């Protein structure tokens, strides 16, 4: 089977190539990838090359396929898995397999393998993915939900990792039910997914949710997608705040609670003032979840340890999610309880994936969604209408997304897959 894929040969060396996949073994599965969303982790991997802890040392001789947020359908099943998987089945994948026989025991699709990664048309799923129960059944007309299930699983993990303590010192996992929750720097793509989860999960929900940012355009977009009126129907008071315009953000935020503090605070930016602001608004038995991963290994911020002792402040941090987190994210999406499509701001074909991965920090907006079988420059959804003046495909896509608050949709995906040009190398 010939595949087209983006392969990493070394630092900043990504190439779109065609090559032949070998015949699958009895413990392997041949799969067709439809969509993959680009993660900042893939950008970091590309920058580091073989220095990355999940990437093999012999990268220049044995390049790997990048991309780990992918969704597709089964093509051929090795005999060992024929009782569970059938050709034509849709799937999503939990890439965080940490298989002991791979690089540093941390090997993962999109980082460590020559024949599997999200930025490809066809891949071979290795046996260890199935052995770890990381190949997940997926039944949804929209492939893009399967691609953003992995980033949503990291949000689920962060949400669940928060904890509080009873008088007998038992840890009660999750945010405080009906409590005051703040998401600082929370109007970006991951913050939007977190708002969706906080409002609509069936686990634990706050009574008041305060979302801060310093960018009015991001806050305005968040308000149109998750309106305070709709949040009120869920029994939650939703408040958006631009802290850049405030003389004393800490005092202002504390006043919003009516009790001068928050039960749960999630920090979505690895920025010292934001972390310290999060610490300053915590109340008794409050939990600070440092969600944003810094690139600086020496990153630090000041924390009040008097309050750690006398106010029982807690700090947690999470990186990635596990299989249960991803299954829960898929469940909520398939049931229509969460719709994290707001995370997606750009769409492109496989031909645009290498450049987008290399330049990811420079490209504004949220998630960049790649359809691996088509040729399409990476395009912001907000630019569809302008491009539609010259291209009828974009003109129709603009009409479709306009019906859905200018958000990507099942209809938009199906139209694009039916009408876009096939990718070529």
Give the CATH number for residue 166: 3.40.50.720
Interval 114-119 mean pLDDT: 98
382-405 tens-digit pLDDT: 999 999 999 999 999 999 999 998
Asked if residue 335 lies in contact with residue 163, where contact means CB atoms within 8 angstroms, the answer is no
Contacts of 272 (CB under 8 A, 6+ apart): 299, 300, 301, 302
284-329 tens-digit pLDDT: 999 999 998 887 889 999 999 999 999 999 999 987 888 999 999 9
Contacts of 388 (CB under 8 A, 6+ apart): 394, 395, 396, 397, 398
Q: How is residue 192 written in tokens?
A: 């939007």
Asked if residue 131 lies in contact with residue 98, where contact means CB atoms within 8 angstroms, the answer is no
Q: Looking at the structure, tell me whether residues 282 and 193 fall in a common domain.
A: yes
Residue 319 has a pLDDT of 79
Count of domains for the chain = 3
Q: Looking at the structure, tell me whether residues 176 and 260 fall in a common domain.
A: yes
Q: What is the percent of the chain where pLDDT is above 90?
A: 89
229-244 tens-digit pLDDT: 999 999 999 999 999 9
Check pLDDT > 90 for residue 100.
Answer: no
Q: Looking at the structure, tell me whether residues 124 and 26 fall in a common domain.
A: yes
Q: Looking at the structure, tell me whether residues 21 and 126 fall in a common domain.
A: yes
Residue 297 has a pLDDT of 82
Half-sphere exposure of 127 (CA within 13 A, CB side): 10
Q: Looking at the structure, tell me whether residues 11 and 72 fall in a common domain.
A: yes
State pTM to two decimals: 0.89
Residue 129 has a pLDDT of 95
State which of 139, 173, 190 marks the end of a domain.
139
Q: Looking at the structure, tell me whether residues 40 and 183 fall in a common domain.
A: no
Residue 369 has a pLDDT of 98
245 vs 98, residue with greater confidence? 245
Task: Return the biggest CA–CA distance within the chain.
Answer: 67
191-201 tens-digit pLDDT: 999 999 999 99
Interval 220-229 mean pLDDT: 95
Q: How is residue 268 written in tokens?
A: 């979505």
In a domain, 278, yes or no: yes
Q: Looking at the structure, tell me whether residues 304 and 205 fall in a common domain.
A: yes
In a domain, 145, yes or no: no
Among the listed ranges 14-18, 73-77, 103-107, 317-321, which one has the minimum average pLDDT value? Answer: 103-107
On the 0-12 / 13-18 / 19+ scale of CB atoms within 10 A, 76 is middle
Range of the domain at 380: 348-422
Asked if residue 340 lies in contact with residue 154, where contact means CB atoms within 8 angstroms, the answer is no
Residue 28 has a pLDDT of 98
As a whole number of angstroms, the distance between CA 6 and CA 14 comes to 6
- Give the confidence band of 107 by pLDDT, cuts at 50, 70, 90: confident
State which of 139, 173, 200 marks the end of a domain.
139
Q: For residue 29, what is the domain's CATH number?
A: 3.90.180.10
Check pLDDT > 90 for residue 269.
Answer: yes
Please spell the DSSP secondary structure of 138-179, one letter per residue: ---S-HHHHHHHHHHHHHHHHHHH-EEE-TT--EEESSPTT-
Contacts of 328 (CB under 8 A, 6+ apart): 153, 156
Q: Looking at the structure, tell me whether residues 168 and 307 fall in a common domain.
A: yes
Q: Looking at the structure, tell me whether residues 363 and 267 fall in a common domain.
A: no
Interval 202-215 mean pLDDT: 96
Residues paired with 239 in a beta bridge: 210
Q: Looking at the structure, tell me whether residues 10 and 78 fall in a common domain.
A: yes
As a whole number of angstroms, the distance between CA 46 and CA 48 comes to 6
As a whole number of angstroms, the distance between CA 24 and CA 32 comes to 13
Asked if residue 223 lies in contact with residue 187, where contact means CB atoms within 8 angstroms, the answer is no
Q: Looking at the structure, tell me whether residues 114 and 13 fall in a common domain.
A: yes
As a whole number of angstroms, the distance between CA 423 and CA 207 comes to 48
144-168 tens-digit pLDDT: 999 999 999 999 999 999 999 988 7
Q: Looking at the structure, tell me whether residues 260 and 308 fall in a common domain.
A: yes
In a domain, 75, yes or no: yes
């Amino acid at each position: 089977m010939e595949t087209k894929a983006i392969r990493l040969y070394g630092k900043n060396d990504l190439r779109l190539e065609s090559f032949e996949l070998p015949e699958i073994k009895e413990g392997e599965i041949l799969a067709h990838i439809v969509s993959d969303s680009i993660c900042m982790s893939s950008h970091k991997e590309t920058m580091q090359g073989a220095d990355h802890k999940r990437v093999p040392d012999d990268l220049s001789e044995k390049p790997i396929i990048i991309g780990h947020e992918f969704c597709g359908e089964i093509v051929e099943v090795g005999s060992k898995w024929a009782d569970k998987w059938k050709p034509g089945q849709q799937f999503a994948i939990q890439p965080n397999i940490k298989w002991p026989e791979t690089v540093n025991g941390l090997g993962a699709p999109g980082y460590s393998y020559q024949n599997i990664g999200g930025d490809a048309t066809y891949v071979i799923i290795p046996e260890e993915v199935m052995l770890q129960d990381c190949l997940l059944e997926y039944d949804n007309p929209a492939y893009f939900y399967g691609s953003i299930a992995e980033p949503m699983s990291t949000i689920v993990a962060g949400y669940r990792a928060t904890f509080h303590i009873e008088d007998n010192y038992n840890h009660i996992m999750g945010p405080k039910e009906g409590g005051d929750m703040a998401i600082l720097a929370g109007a970006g793509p991951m913050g939007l997914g977190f708002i969706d989860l906080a409002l609509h999960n069936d686990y634990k929900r706050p009574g008041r949710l305060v979302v801060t940012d310093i960018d009015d355009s991001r806050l305005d977009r968040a308000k149109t997608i998750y309106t305070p009126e709709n949040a009120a129907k869920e029994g939650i008071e939703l408040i958006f705040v631009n802290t850049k315009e405030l003389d004393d953000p800490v005092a202002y935020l504390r006043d919003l609670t009516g009790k001068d503090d928050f039960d749960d605070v999630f920090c979505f930016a690895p920025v010292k003032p934001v972390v310290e602001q999060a610490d300053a608004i915590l109340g008794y038995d409050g939990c600070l979840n440092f969600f944003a991963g810094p690139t600086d290994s020496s990153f630090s911020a000041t924390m009040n340890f008097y309050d750690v002792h006398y106010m029982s402040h807690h700090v947690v941090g999470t990186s990635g999610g596990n299989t249960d987190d991803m299954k829960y994210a898929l469940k909520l999406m398939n049931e229509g309880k969460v719709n994290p499509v707001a995370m997606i701001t750009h769409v492109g074909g496989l031909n645009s994936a290498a450049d987008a991965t290399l330049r990811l920090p420079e490209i504004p907006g949220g998630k960049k969604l790649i359809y691996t079988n088509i040729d399409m420059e990476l395009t912001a959804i907000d630019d569809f209408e302008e491009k539609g003046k010259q291209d009828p495909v974009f003109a129709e896509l603009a009409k479709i997304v306009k019906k859905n608050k200018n958000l990507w949709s099942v209809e938009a995906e199906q139209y694009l897959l039916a009408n876009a040009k096939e990718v070529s190398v």
